[in-house]
Amino acid sequence: MMENIIHDYLRPKKSFPHVWCPGCGDGIVLNAMVRAIHSLGKSKDEVVFVSGIGCSSRAPAYTDFSSLHGIHGRALPFATGIKLANPKLTVVVFSGDGDALAIGGNHFIHACRRNIDITVVVINNNIYGMTGGQASPTMPTGAYGATAPYGNLDRPFDVCKLAAAAGANYVARATAFQFFQLEKCIKEGIEKKGFSVIEAVTPCPSLYSFFNNTGRGVDMLKKLRDRAVTTQKAATLSPAELEDKIVTGVFANENFREYCAGYAELVEKAERSKKNEESL
């Protein structure tokens, strides 16, 4: 049987009861993250959890790592500051689809481009959960929400294609149904030097289901199970066959130069040049 290690990492006195609805996918993602960190043998003091605002962004509050629950859309600037100040830390960001790609969209693409050694999990429930079900940048075209009462007109972002195109070293996607795959992707993302993006596709059985009639958490998880196809399988399917599918797996695994390493080299270069000028 799987060992349940999550209790060793929670803050039951300080931050419980939690705010997540029954059947929400956020707890699954947090559990996968904690198990990934545990399996890497990292101590609590080596890890910092950072987030913005949203249901998913509550995750850092519930665990006993150093944590920063910041401002909506601004988790990545905070995380970048932490990492640059102490590159030895393992910095992990939890970000909702709205947090990462709407208000925080510019920070997201530039963090990918910068390729700093941070791991971000984009918890994609296709909606703004916390604020009542507004359409997010990943809401499917035609889906309903508080701001899309006649169906969403916009096309959704493909989080993984966006991150890979913007230059992140590691990019992967798993659904909340694929718990072990999600844990593995998070572990690989943390181990990878450079910016890592893991998209975790999750159910929001309260707000998304309210507007789209997708049932309870368990119904939504089953649907995620049925819609998931691997990247290998996807390569054999036509665009029509891929229409309602969620392609899961690794989308980028690169070795572009990591930002902190580049920054340290730059500082050294500047110091050398200053010394040379002084000796003239």
Ligand X SMILES: Cc1ncc(C[n+]2csc(CCOP(=O)(O)OP(=O)(O)O)c2C)c(N)n1
Q: Is 124 an interacting residue with respect to ligand SF4 (CB under 6 A)?
A: no
Q: Check if the beta carbon of residue 221 is closer than 8 Å to that of residue 200.
A: no
Half-sphere exposure in the Cβ direction for 196 (13 Å, CA): 27
Q: Is 24 an interacting residue with respect to ligand SF4 (CB under 6 A)?
A: yes
Which lies closer to ligand X via its Cβ, residue 72 or residue 187?
A: 72
3 state SS of 225: helix
Beta bridge pairs of residue 229: 247
Which lies closer to ligand SF4 via its Cβ, residue 63 or residue 90?
A: 63
Could you say which of ligand SF4, Mg ion, ligand X, none residue 99 binds, taking C-beta under 5 to 8 angstroms by partner kind? ligand X
Q: Which 43-102 residues touch Mg ion, going by CB under 5 A?
A: 96-97
Residues of the chain by 3-state class (helix, strand, coil), percent to 5: 45, 20, 35
Binding segment for ligand SF4 (CB under 6 A), chosen from 6-14, 125-133, 140-148, 163-171, is 125-133
Q: Is 94 an interacting residue with respect to ligand SF4 (CB under 6 A)?
A: no
Which lies closer to ligand X via its Cβ, residue 169 or residue 206?
A: 206
Q: Is 200 an interacting residue with respect to ligand SF4 (CB under 6 A)?
A: no
Q: Using CB under 6 A as the criterion, which residues of the chain lie in contact with ligand X when the complex forms?
A: 53-56, 72, 96-99, 103, 123, 125, 127-131, 136
Which lies closer to ligand X via its Cβ, residue 72 or residue 107?
A: 72
Burial of residue 24 (number of CB atoms within 10 Å: 0-12, 13-18, 19+)? buried
| 9, 20, 108, 177: residue in contact with ligand SF4 (rule CB under 6 A) | 20
Q: Which 26-55 residues touch ligand SF4, going by CB under 6 A?
A: 26, 55
Could you say which of Mg ion, ligand X, ligand SF4, none residue 206 binds, taking C-beta under 5 to 8 angstroms by partner kind? ligand SF4
Place of tokens 């609805």: 21
3 state SS of 261: helix
Which of 256, 137, 267, 266 minimizes the C-alpha distance to 195? Answer: 256
The footprint of Mg ion (CB under 5 A) covers 96-97, 125, 129
